[in-house]
Every structure is written in structure tokens, then in C-alpha cells.
């Protein structure tokens, strides 16, 4: 399986994992402190040694409070100890880690040690890459473990320019603003990193979006009450789409499901 939680508590920023021939993978979207939906997804998918679970991050913020996010994270930690769960950091984990850097909880310490990007390589040659947000056309493999823009990208132009404004403070790259512009990165992605499963760009209709070489699994659970997981079979192909419903923290625009 490659590096596991038992081997090291800290992953590198970009990890490549070899997938055994009998393993399927469920990648699920941004949970945002909605434990009800998370628990339903776990119950339906039933993670095991042959059914791995992968989070695209953003377990924190916008929902029912930090304690709920901590409880969700505790479950991810326990499943990772069993070698059946992976996670990548989302922009809200980055924000929480920065905000609480002097007094990190055990949950945030765990998130701090998760990678930015994971690539799962299947025996028949297919590759599934998981990150929180996305990539731009200018990126190559060196960016996957070194560029936190993979936690923020929504739009970009065909030259690979991303409408994000950054500043460097104490040697740390800090996002100042995100301006609309260009195209959805999914429309420009050419498959160079394999099939990408990501979240970040909340779909207010509650429906995951699929493109030629990628998908966006963020179904805006905090407004729609819907959490989405995409199952990839043991050959690395799209299989079952799991959607679970529950109470939304901010349902005023879409109703409480």
C-alpha cells in the first residue's frame, strides 16, 4: 500500500499510493462540520481493507461547529490507523492551522501532517489524483507537493494564470483575494496527472459535476444538506455515486433537506 499512518505520522506534501487489485476507493466532498451526512456516507460505503475512503478536505468551518469537525476528524484518524483512509488538506484546514498555530488540537496536528495531493496508481495503469481544489495548465508534477494553489484554484486562463492575489508575510505565502475570471479549471485540464477528484467549488444545486478528466464533488452541504462521494472501482474507473442528505447549517437559500 505504500506509506501508511502506522509507518509515519507525517506524510510528504505529495504522496503516490499503489492500489492493490481488489481495492475500490470512495472520494468524498467538502463536509464542513456536517457529521450527520458524514456518518451516513460511512454507513453506506462501509470502509474496509478493500474499500478505501479519501477526503478532499474542508472538514472545518461553515457548519455546526469545530467540535463536530473534530469528531469527524477523529473518525478519519481511526480509519487511517486501519490503513483504509486518506485525506488531503483543504483551504479551511490551512486556515484553522494558521489561526491556531500556537495551540493546535490533536485533530489539527493530524491535518497539518496530511498531504496536499495524493495520487492512487491502479494495477491496470490508471491514476486517480485527489486534491482539494484543482490545477492550472501551467502546473507540472513539481507543483503538486509544493504549491498551495492546489487548495484554492477555481478559475484560470489558458496560459495558466490564476486570478488569485498573494502576498508573502514572514516567508509564508498568504492569499489576499480571489477574483473571478477565466474558465473553470476543469474545462482546461488535459489529464496530465490522471483523473482528478476534487472539491472546493461549491455547487449550490447540490449536484457533483463531471468533466473529461476530473470531477468536482463539493455539493455545498452547508446550504443543500447534500454530501457526495464518488466510488472508483478496482480498475480506477468511475462507478457508484453516493449522495446522502441531512440537515443543512445554512439552508436559507435552498431549504433544509
Q: Three-state SS for 212?
A: coil
Whole-angstrom distance, CA of residue 251 vs CA of residue 122: 39
Per-residue pLDDT of the chain in tens (257 residues, 90 and over written 9): 444 434 444 668 999 999 999 999 999 999 999 999 999 999 999 999 999 999 999 999 999 999 999 999 999 999 999 999 999 999 999 999 999 988 999 999 999 999 999 999 999 899 999 999 999 998 999 899 888 989 999 988 766 566 555 556 555 555 555 555 678 999 999 999 999 999 999 999 999 999 999 999 999 999 999 999 999 999 999 999 999 999 999 887 554 43
Q: Which CATH number fits domain 14-153+185-253: 3.40.50.720, 3.30.450.20, 3.60.21.10, 1.10.150.130?
A: 3.60.21.10
Half-sphere exposure of 245 toward its Cβ, with a 13 Å CA cutoff? 7
**Among residues 81, 198, 190, which one has the least CA distance to residue 136?**
190
Number of helices and strands (H, E) in the chain? 7, 15
- Sheet strand arrangement including 51-55: 85-87, 51-55, 24-28, 226-232, 238-245
**What number of other Cβ atoms are within 10 A of residue 180's Cβ?**
7
**Among residues 151, 129, 139, which one has the least CA distance to residue 215?**
129
> Over the stretch 145-193, which tens digit does the pLDDT of each residue have?
888 989 999 988 766 566 555 556 555 555 555 555 678 999 999 999 9
CB 147 within 8 Å of CB 139: yes
pTM as predicted: 0.88
> Over the stretch 94-115, which tens digit does the pLDDT of each residue have?
999 999 988 999 999 999 999 9
**Among residues 244, 200, 228, which one has the least CA distance to residue 27?**
228
**Among residues 240, 139, 123, 119, which one has the least CA distance to residue 188?**
139
Q: Where are the domains of the chain?
A: 14-153+185-253
Amino acid at each position: 500500500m505504500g506509506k501508511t499512518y502506522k509507518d509515519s505520522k507525517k506524510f510528504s506534501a505529495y504522496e503516490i499510493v499503489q492500489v492493490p487489485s481488489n481495492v475500490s476507493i470512495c472520494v468524498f466532498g467538502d463536509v464542513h462540520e456536517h457529521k450527520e451526512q458524514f456518518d451516513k456516507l460511512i454507513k453506506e460505503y462501509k470502509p474496509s481493507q478493500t474499500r478505501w475512503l479519501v477526503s478532499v478536505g474542508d472538514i472545518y468551518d461553515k457548519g455546526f461547529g469545530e467540535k463536530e469537525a473534530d469528531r469527524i476528524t477523529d473518525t478519519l484518524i481511526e480509519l487511517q490507523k486501519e490503513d483504509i483512509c486518506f485525506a488531503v488538506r483543504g483551504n479551511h484546514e490551512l486556515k484553522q492551522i494558521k489561526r491556531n498555530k500556537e495551540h493546535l488540537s490533536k485533530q489539527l496536528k493530524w491535518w497539518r501532517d496530511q498531504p496536499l495531493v495524493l495520487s492512487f496508481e491502479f494495477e491496470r495503469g490508471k491514476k486517480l489524483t485527489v486534491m482539494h481544489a484543482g490545477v492550472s495548465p501551467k502546473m507540472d508534477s513539481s507543483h503538486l507537493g509544493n504549491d498551495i494553489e492546489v487548495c484554492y484554484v477555481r478559475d484560470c486562463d489558458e496560459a495558466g494564470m490564476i486570478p488569485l492575489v498573494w502576498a508573502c508575510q514572514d516567508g509564508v505565502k498568504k492569499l489576499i483575494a480571489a477574483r473571478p475570471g477565466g474558465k473553470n479549471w476543469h474545462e482546461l485540464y488535459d489529464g496530465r496527472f490522471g483523473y482528478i477528484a476534487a472539491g472546493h467549488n461549491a455547487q449550490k444545486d447540490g449536484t457533483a459535476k463531471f468533466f473529461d478528466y476530473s470531477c468536482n464533488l463539493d455539493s455545498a452541504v452547508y446550504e443543500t444538506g447534500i454530501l457526495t462521494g464518488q466510488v472508483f472501482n478496482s480498475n480506477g474507473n468511475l462507478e457508484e455515486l453516493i449522495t446522502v442528505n441531512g440537515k443543512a447549517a445554512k439552508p436559507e437559500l435552498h431549504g433544509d433537506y
